[in-house]
Amino acid sequence: MRDLYMKNSEGFILVYSIIAQSTFNDLNEIYENIMKVRSDNGCYVVPPMIIAGNKMDLADQRVIQKETGEELANRLGCVFMETSAKTSVNVIDLFLKCAHMIVQLRAPKVQIKKRG
């Protein structure tokens, strides 16, 4: 079932907890699984992906530094954001950003012909 979602989804938000190292450690494997499932099914376009560090409201318990999340996102070619589901910080922006990235990818490419 999970593979079907990975195959058919148009965008992904990979979420980890900034207070739990294990959730961050899982991101590489999740990313690789998404890419494998999609390539096995003939889809070679990298889908829009955002890596989101959640639980900003617990910053005093932070285990994963923001820079560490940003570095992973850059390495994987993803957008990076931090959020708090509890306090709603950046949650709407997170989904709007993902939707915008999907729309941008789906939009027809317009070619401008030079007159001459």
For tokens 């954001």, the residue is: 81
Return the domain boundaries, the chain: 2-106
State the fold for domain 2-106. Answer: Rossmann fold (3.40.50)
For residue 7 the two structure tokens come to: 């195959």
Tens digits of pLDDT across the chain (116 residues): 788 999 889 999 999 999 999 999 999 999 999 999 999 878 778 899 999 999 999 999 999 999 999 999 999 999 999 999 999 999 999 999 999 999 999 887 766 777 76
Q: CA dist 54 to 26, 95, 111, Å? A: 14, 13, 40
